[in-house]
Amino acid sequence: MGYKSILIFFLCAFNYTNAQTYIQGKELIPSSNIVNSSLIPLSKRINMDEAYNIYKTRGSAEVYNKSSQLVGEFWLIDNILINIVSRNLSSTRKENFQKLRYTLGPRGASTGKLKHEYFDTIKTVNNYEVFIHYYYNSKNKSFIIQDKQGRYKLMGSIISTETDIKKAEAFMNTLLDSITFK
């Protein structure tokens, strides 16, 4: 009788435990498998529930109804939420950053009319190219990285609080400088 009770207890306990998820999405690769960066170690990743709660408190979760809809990996570093989605280029398309620049930018950005509101740039950092774009007053800053060997693509977002917008811009540059492909 005692063994049955113990077995039932463990079955119920396992049924109700919720494993923490640190990466989710279709055809993703853990970023640690393809890049090195001292700023985004595995030990500092946060789970999807934590990331979702931060999105909600920062007003950035309008498109998500629950944490299971988030994609990628998340870190919380110095009160800045970092989201990175890493994929093989074979499972996704290689981006033409010049075309993407004009597609994602607001009307008039290419003529310089919005130079005090919107920022975008394409540059080479370490062993990859990166496209960075964001509105200066936005809490969300985005980037897309493609390694020069044509193997991988990383899409990332930096989500800050209203008071940390400038700090997030500086952090993005520091983060990008720290990333190297393996």
The token pair at 175 is: 């983060």
- Would you tell me how many other CB atoms lie within 10 Å of the CB of residue 89? 15
Would you list the domain boundaries of the chain?
Answer: 20-181
> What's the pLDDT at 62?
67
Mean pLDDT, to the nearest integer, of 101-128? 82
Q: How confident is the model at residue 21 (pLDDT cuts 50, 70, 90)?
A: confident
Return the CA Rg of the chain.
19
> What's the pLDDT at 142?
95
Nearest to 128 by CA among 170, 175, 165, 83: 175
Share of the chain above pLDDT 70, in %: 84
Instruction: Report residue 151 CA to chain centroid gap.
Output: 18
CA atoms in the 13 A half-sphere facing the CB of 154: 28
Dihedral pair phi/psi, residue 21, rounded to 5°? -110, 125
Selected residue with higher pLDDT from 46 and 104: 46
CA pair distance 110, 102, nearest whole angstrom: 7
pTM, two decimals, is 0.83
> What's the pLDDT at 5?
45
> What's the pLDDT at 116?
83
